Copies of this chain bind each other. A is one copy, B any other.
Amino acid sequence: MDEFGLIDHIARRARLRADVVLGIGDDAALLQPPPGRQLAVTADTLNAGVHFPAETLPADIGWKALAVNLSDLAAMGAAPLWCTLSLSLPQADAGWLEGFVDGFFALADASGIALVGGDTTRGPLSLSITAMGAVPAGQALRRDGARVGDDIWISGMPGEAAGALRLWQRGALAVRAPAADSGHEILRQRLQRPTPRLQLGQTLHGVASAAADVSDGLLADLGHIATRSGVGAVVQAGRVPLSSALRDALGADAARDCALRGGDDYELCFTAAPERRDALQALSSRLALPLTRIGHVVEGRGVSCEGGADTGHAAGYRHFAAQ
């Protein structure tokens, strides 16, 4: 199977949308943008050994590479439209590709995004995806809209992905196989198959004042909102929800640290005026997704954390951080 064979193999699985005038196979795809919408465009790369353990199953790699990009669309409140995939592989491997394609299209089909282009090259395993989505003009969830007095909210149960990574790092969890411990398996699924909060993001138009997805860690990503909005943020550590799976696996202190600082969660952190509390509780019920108020926006700068061991400015994971 050569380069063209790989592309064909992937292209055959691509489900088209009515707005895809011309898909994979020409110099470029031709797409019809939806009228009255703006495009949200994001690009994220995953490299083996940096962003996921090298032994990760190809299906999980396919799912996650798309999930991290869909999560960025979710954080803007955008509906998925199209994506491109650049896949570098050490060698053409039909079995690996079969698994990868299964995981990638399981999420692509569920989210409605169409793969419209890309390429395959020989090189160390790496996946670059650019995802495009549609938002009603002027209604995107940006990072720069937080106002003093807003509440700070988090979706779901943060820290579970980081918890799984800690278990894996200490040899207590295999990423390739289901864990015998059901709690460990919950954490493993959250690391390997994160759920981008697309429905939530598209429901937050006019409700949230600012939003970001939690990829670098809750405090770090909240810091991005605070910086862009020119405000400070106070998080009450005791309010941050901790799943029993995470607490049971790591104990309360480490669980809280994962929830505050762990990356790879892909939950949404957002701000909203206090008068939105009832609406957000109702939304939480409707989506069957926990939405938890964990702090508030203040004058000033940076993120402070009350009631936990951690205070001061938060730092997330940085690929090029000084040693």
A-side residues, CB < 8 A to B, are 1-6, 21-22, 25-33, 35, 37-47, 50-51, 72-73, 75-76, 78, 82, 84-86, 88, 91-92, 116-124, 126, 128, 130-133, 135, 137, 140, 142-144, 211-213, 228, 318-322
Contacts and interface: CB of A to CB of B under 8 A. Distances in A.
B27 A212 contact: yes
A119 B28 contact: no
A40 B45 contact: no
Contacts of A131: 28
- Report how many copies the assembly holds: 2
A5 B26 CA distance: 36
21 contacts: A22-B140, A26-B142, A26-B144, A27-B75, A27-B213, A28-B40, A28-B131, A29-B41, A31-B40, A32-B38, A35-B35, A41-B132, A45-B121, A45-B128, A47-B122, A50-B121, A50-B122, A50-B123, A51-B121, A124-B124, A130-B130
A88 B118 contact: no
B126 A27 contact: no
Contacts of A119: 43-45
Given A51-B121, A121-B47, A121-B51, A28 B320 contact: no
B122 A124 contact: no
Contacts of A140: 22, 30
Nearest to A37: B33
Contacts of A92: 320
B118 A43 contact: yes
B28 A116 contact: no
B126 A41 contact: no
A84 to B, nearest CB: 4
A228 B25 contact: yes
Given A119-B45, A121-B51, A321 B28 contact: no
